[in-house]
């Protein structure tokens, strides 16, 4: 099975073409901004290196968040666009799940993924030794995230780990993975059932919007 | 020549396909989804809600437009999208979708300036020849431009503060008339007495054709606060709406009249575009301004004055005809003046 996978939800632009578990080509650049410019040229470059055309793919995989709102939309708009343009199924995976899966290739330990949510918060999600999420991702202050982790021997990964690490019990050990790798995303997506609907974004945090008092009327 | 266009810069998600064959031009499909209901509780467009809604809807609208047109991607000559100016979260959704379509089907990508879309609509609808004088008046913009050609604009004046539509939105909110404010003020004004409240005429007697609307918004606030205590009475609200509309129209007439004195070349027409150009009182007044200056007044139908994708597809087609395409690493722009001098 040939999969084109990409992630722009955190501080990277990662694109891979994988075939039956083997990475044919990988583009992986750390970047805080600029994914809207970088992504499509990176996809074309990676496909060229892999010697694969869009028509020869079997499915598209895209990380759906949580992460930067803009990054989530850059990846999903491209993924859903490629989906309608090619007719290939598009599989969405949580960014946290992809990061945890890569970490667990090396450690097989319970893994906590903390993604930088800005505004001094992180998106936290924990995975057991089988890679199964223990709960949905949550948006938390680092101290609250540390409370969730308690004194359990988690491996703490993700680009928000540095915010949480100073607050955790000594049982929680730092891991090495900070961002999602598109090769891991591709191989996870290859095993998933094909969804009936295109993937939806996972923002976790609601939009910043407050309805004005009395609808903004001066004399209600 | 056949181009698909995408519009996502504010609160309308839209996809259109237009074509030009041997001088004839037509719209093959226009799929549009308004977000008015999503933003109504907030009395204005919330950028993050807009961006999320564009992503939720855009791919289905592309499929619907393609299906309505009854064509395949292979028959397109280019893919255009609004790449700015506008609410950047939504703009990015449209640009990324367009780039994806462009990459898969190896069609040229055209990054369209949303304002150029409005500016060139009258060429799609009425085949207006260059140069022409353009009043671009909407919820986000208020400018007077001399349109000399695709990509060639001379900005004669712009708003110094709020846009006209923004003024209507804010006043409608204060008066409890509803959202969006432009149509709400216009409807209320129909049963109001326009000469009851003496609102200011901004920049009256001043040279140039810049606009200013924030003083009017403040005047509405002060007028409401000066009314007898208690809830705002309906008649007060509609009279104030009528007075405000009259003041806005008089201000725009004054500025446009000055604009005619500032153009480098005699215009072939006076064109209005943008959502506020749907206002009947403004259209009537602009028609008179055009007549006073001996040129025809051209205003596209209402559905092509408000934000839409037909204008983006058309601007894309005009640019593609001239060989103006963009690379797939094009950076979406939240700010993007039409005239190079202000870029």
Best mutation target, A37, A68, A85, to test chain B (most B CBs within 10 A): A85
Q: Residue A160 and residue A72: Cα distance in Å, rounded?
A: 16
pLDDT given for residue B217 in this prediction: 95
Quick one: CA dihedral A106, A111, A115, A119, positive or negative?
negative
Partners of residue B230 in chain A, C-beta under 8 Å: 219
Q: Does one domain contain both B233 and B286?
A: yes
Best mutation target, A31, A55, A92, A207, to test chain B (most B CBs within 10 A): A207
Partners of residue B331 in chain A, C-beta under 8 Å: 34, 36-37
Q: How far is CA A76 from the centre of its chain?
A: 11
Tell me the DSSP string of B248-304.
Answer: HHHHHHHHHHHHHHH-SS--S-EEEESGGGG-HHHHHHHHHHHHHTTS-EE---HHH
**Span A6-12, mean pLDDT?**
96
Tell me the DSSP string of A173-210.
Answer: EE-S--S--HHHHHHHHHTSPPPSS-------SPP---
Contact B331 A36 (CB under 8 A): yes
Contact A73 B97 (CB under 8 A): no
Strand (E) or helix (H) holding B134: strand B132-137
Contact A84 B330 (CB under 8 A): no
Q: How many other CB atoms sit within 10 Å of the CB of residue A134?
A: 11
Domain A96-174 has CATH 3.40.250.10: no
pLDDT given for residue B298 in this prediction: 98
Question: pLDDT tens digits for A103-131?
Answer: 999 887 899 999 999 999 999 999 999 99
pLDDT given for residue A210 in this prediction: 86
Q: Does one domain contain both B48 and B177?
A: no
Contact B332 A76 (CB under 8 A): no
| A165 has a chain B CB within 8 A of its CB | no
pLDDT given for residue A108 in this prediction: 79
Q: Does one domain contain both B324 and B292?
A: no
Partners of residue B55 in chain A, C-beta under 8 Å: 73, 76-77, 80, 201
Cβ-nearest to B101 among A36, A79, A85: A85
Q: Residue B104 and residue B313: Cα distance in Å, rounded?
A: 19
Partners of residue B100 in chain A, C-beta under 8 Å: 40, 77-82, 85
CA distances in angstroms from B103 to A183, B162, B295, listed in the order given = 21, 39, 44
Using DSSP bridges, classify how beta strands B132-137 and B24-34 pair: parallel, antiparallel or unpaired.
unpaired
Whether residue A158 contacts residue A113, with contact meaning beta carbons closer than 8 Å, is answered with: yes
* Mutual angle of helices B164-175 and B181-189, in 10-degree steps: 70
Return the closest-CA partner of residue A187 out of A23, A26, A28, A40: A23
Residue indicated by tokens 């087609």: B317
In chain A, ranges of CATH 3.30.420.40 domains: 2-95+180-189, 96-174
pLDDT given for residue A219 in this prediction: 86
Q: Does one domain contain both B143 and B289?
A: yes
Partners of residue A57 in chain B, C-beta under 8 Å: none
Q: Does one domain contain both B144 and B90?
A: no
pTM over 0.90: yes
Contact B99 A74 (CB under 8 A): no
Q: Residue B287 and residue B303: Cα distance in Å, rounded?
A: 19
Q: Residue A220 and residue B232: Cα distance in Å, rounded?
A: 7
CA distances in angstroms from B292 to B45, B77, B142, B256, B299, listed in the order given = 37, 42, 22, 11, 17
Which residue would you say has higher pLDDT here, B148 or A212?
B148
Q: Does one domain contain both B292 and B312?
A: no
Give A181 to chain B, closest Cα distance, Å: 21
Contact A54 B332 (CB under 8 A): no
CA distances in angstroms from A85 to A34, A63, B96, B287, B336, listed in the order given = 24, 19, 13, 45, 29
Contact B101 A200 (CB under 8 A): no
Strand (E) or helix (H) holding A111: strand A111-116
Q: Does one domain contain both B315 and B218?
A: no
Residue B139 tokens, joined: 């919820």
Q: Residue B341 and residue B343: Cα distance in Å, rounded?
A: 6
Maximum pairwise Cα distance, chain A: 67
CATH of domain A2-95+180-189: 3.30.420.40
**Span A11-35, mean pLDDT?**
97
Cβ-nearest to A74 among B42, B96, B174: B96
Quick one: CA dihedral A136, A142, A147, A149, positive or negative?
positive
pLDDT given for residue A107 in this prediction: 82
pLDDT given for residue B222 in this prediction: 97
Contact A77 B55 (CB under 8 A): yes
| A40 has a chain B CB within 8 A of its CB | yes
Cβ-nearest to B63 among A78, A84, A219: A84
Best mutation target, A72, A90, A203, A219, to test chain B (most B CBs within 10 A): A219
Partners of residue A200 in chain B, C-beta under 8 Å: 56
Residue indicated by tokens 């004399």: A219
pLDDT given for residue A215 in this prediction: 84
- pLDDT tens digit at each of 343 positions of chain B: 999 999 999 999 999 999 999 879 999 999 999 999 999 999 889 999 999 999 999 999 999 999 999 999 999 999 999 999 999 999 999 999 999 999 999 999 999 999 999 999 999 999 999 999 999 999 989 999 999 999 999 999 999 999 999 999 999 999 999 989 999 999 999 999 999 999 999 999 899 999 999 999 999 999 999 999 899 999 999 999 999 999 999 999 999 999 999 999 999 999 999 999 999 999 999 999 999 999 999 999 999 999 999 999 999 999 999 999 999 999 999 999 998 666 5
| A45 has a chain B CB within 8 A of its CB | no
Contact A208 B48 (CB under 8 A): yes
Cβ burial of A95 (10 Å; 0-12, 13-18, 19+) is buried
| Residues 170-199, chain A, touching B (beta carbon < 8 A) | 198
CA distances in angstroms from A193 to A59, A91, A190, listed in the order given = 11, 8, 8
Instruction: Count residue pairs from A and B with Cβ separation < 8 A.
Output: 133
Residue indicated by tokens 């003024």: B167
Q: Does one domain contain both B310 and B297?
A: no
Contact A44 B328 (CB under 8 A): yes
CATH number, residue B54: 3.30.420.40
Indicate the number of domains in chain B.
Answer: 2
Domain that holds residue B72: 2-121+304-342
Q: Does one domain contain both B198 and B114?
A: no
Return the closest-CA partner of residue B83 out of B112, B109, B55, B118: B112
């Amino acid at each position: 099975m040939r999969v084109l996978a990409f992630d722009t939800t955190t501080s990277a632009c990662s694109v891979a073409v994988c075939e039956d578990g083997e990475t044919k080509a990988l583009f992986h650049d750390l970047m805080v901004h600029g994914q809207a410019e970088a992504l499509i040229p990176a996809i074309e470059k990676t496909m060229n290196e892999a010697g694969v055309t869009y028509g020869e793919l079997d499915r598209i995989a895209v990380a759906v968040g949580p992460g930067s709102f803009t990054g989530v939309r850059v990846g999903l708009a491209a993924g859903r666009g490629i989906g309608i343009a090619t007719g290939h199924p598009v599989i969405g995976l949580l960014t946290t799940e992809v990061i945890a899966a890569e970490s667990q290739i090396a450690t097989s330990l319970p893994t906590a993924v903390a993604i930088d949510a800005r505004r001094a918060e992180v998106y936290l999600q924990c995975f057991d030794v089988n890679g199964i999420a223990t709960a949905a991702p949550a948006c938390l202050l680092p101290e609250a995230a540390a409370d969730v982790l308690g004194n359990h021997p988690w491996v703490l990964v993700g680009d928000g780990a540095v915010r949480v690490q100073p607050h955790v019990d000594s049982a929680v050990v730092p891991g090495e993975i900070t961002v999602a790798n598109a090769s891991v995303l591709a191989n996870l997506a290859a095993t998933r059932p094909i969804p009936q609907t295109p993937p939806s974004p996972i923002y976790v945090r609601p939009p910043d919007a407050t309805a004005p008092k009395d609808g903004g009327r001066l004399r209600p | 020549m056949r181009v698909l266009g995408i519009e996502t810069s504010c609160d309308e998600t839209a996809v259109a396909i237009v074509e030009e064959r041997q001088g004839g031009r037509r719209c093959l499909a226009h799929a549009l989804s308004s977000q008015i209901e999503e933003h109504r509780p907030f009395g204005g467009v919330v950028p993050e809600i807009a961006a999320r809604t564009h992503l939720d809807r855009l791919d289905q609208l592309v499929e619907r437009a393609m299906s309505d047109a009854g064509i395949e991607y292979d028959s397109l000559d280019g893919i255009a999208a609004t790449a700015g100016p506008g609410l950047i979260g939504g703009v990015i959704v449209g640009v990324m979708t367009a780039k994806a379509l462009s990459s898969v089907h190896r069609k040229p990508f055209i990054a369209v300036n949303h304002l150029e879309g409005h500016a060139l609509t009258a060429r799609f609808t009425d085949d207006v020849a260059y140069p022409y004088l353009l009043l671009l008046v909407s919820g986000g913009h208020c400018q007077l431009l001399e349109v000399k050609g695709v990509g060639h604009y001379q900005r004669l004046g712009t708003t110094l503060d709020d846009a006209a539509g923004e003024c209507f939105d804010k006043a409608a909110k204060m008066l409890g008339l509803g959202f969006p404010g432009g149509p709400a003020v216009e409807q209320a004004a129909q049963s109001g007495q326009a000469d009851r409240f003496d609102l200011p005429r901004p920049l009256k007697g001043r040279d140039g054709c810049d606009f200013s609307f924030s003083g009017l918004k403040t005047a509405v606030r002060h007028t409401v606060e000066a009314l007898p205590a208690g809830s705002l009475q309906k008649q007060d609200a509609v009279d104030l709406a009528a007075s405000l509309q009259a003041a806005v129209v008089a201000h725009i007439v004054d500025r446009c009249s000055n604009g005619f004195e500032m153009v480098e070349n005699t215009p072939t027409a006076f064109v209005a575009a943008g959502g506020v150009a749907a206002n009947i009182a403004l259209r009537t007044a602009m028609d008179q301004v055009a007549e006073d200056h001996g040129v025809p007044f051209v205003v596209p139908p209402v559905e092509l004055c408000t934000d839409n994708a037909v204008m983006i597809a058309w601007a894309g087609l005009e640019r593609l005809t001239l060989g103006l395409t963009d690379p797939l690493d094009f950076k979406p722009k939240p700010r993007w003046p039409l005239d190079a001098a202000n870029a």
